[in-house]
Amino acid sequence: MNRFVLPVIIFLLLAGVLYVGVVHSPDKSTMVSALLGKPAPAFELRMLGDPARGTFSSQRFAGRPWVLNVWGTWCAACRDEHPVLLDIAKQNRLPIVGLDWRDDDEDAMRWLTQLGNPYTVVVVDSEGRTAIDFGVYGAPETFFIDAEGVVQYRHVGAMTMEVWEREFVGRIPHSVSP
């Protein structure tokens, strides 16, 4: 009986190790940007919708912190994070600029109408130049830019409340009122 128990024991030890491995694997999935600590690239882009509305410049938020969320209707994970963005928008702590990346205007407008619009303003980056400037490699990605216009945090992948509370809210200076 003795030696036949060995396989189970070995297996359970291995399972334990694998469990630790799985639990720790999120540590490895955070991504960092070469932009961290550097000024956010300036942009001036057309706003989504009626062309008469004109353009929006990133300088408009100079002196206050803001959030940039890169998304597209073609992006599966953007769909996943959308409800979270809506909840975040309801908190009304920071303005969220939506960067509609390589997308179709009509689809984007339909998306926002049907699902709700968490963005303070949506700008259209059809060529993807601004996204490249920000070092974006895939959607969704969300950036925290501080009051001096410096990129302080970049989150790759679908936004979660946990990340928002931990990494974004924590960076808001107290002088900014909700």
Nearer of residues 36 and 161 to other proteins, judged by Cβ: 36
Nearer of residues 20 and 62 to other proteins, judged by Cβ: 20
Q: Maximum Cα–Cα distance for the chain, whole Å? A: 83
Residue 11 Cβ vs other proteins, minimum distance, rounded to whole Å: 5
Residue 148: C-alpha distances to residues 21, 47, 93, 134, 139 (Å): 39, 23, 17, 16, 25
User: What residues make contact with other proteins under the rule CB under 8 A?
Assistant: 1, 4-5, 7-8, 11-12, 14-15, 17-34, 36-37, 73-76, 79, 104, 107, 110-111, 114-115, 135, 137-138, 156-157
- Rounded distance between C-alpha atoms, residue 88 and residue 91, angstroms: 5
Nearer of residues 56 and 156 to other proteins, judged by Cβ: 156
- Nearest 5°: the CA angle 94, 140, 131 is 85
Residue 105: C-alpha distances to residues 77, 109, 110, 139, 168 (Å): 19, 6, 9, 17, 29
Nearer of residues 54 and 138 to other proteins, judged by Cβ: 138
Residue 173 Cβ vs other proteins, minimum distance, rounded to whole Å: 14
Single-letter amino acid, residue 42 = A
Residue 57 Cβ vs other proteins, minimum distance, rounded to whole Å: 24
Residue 105 Cβ vs other proteins, minimum distance, rounded to whole Å: 11
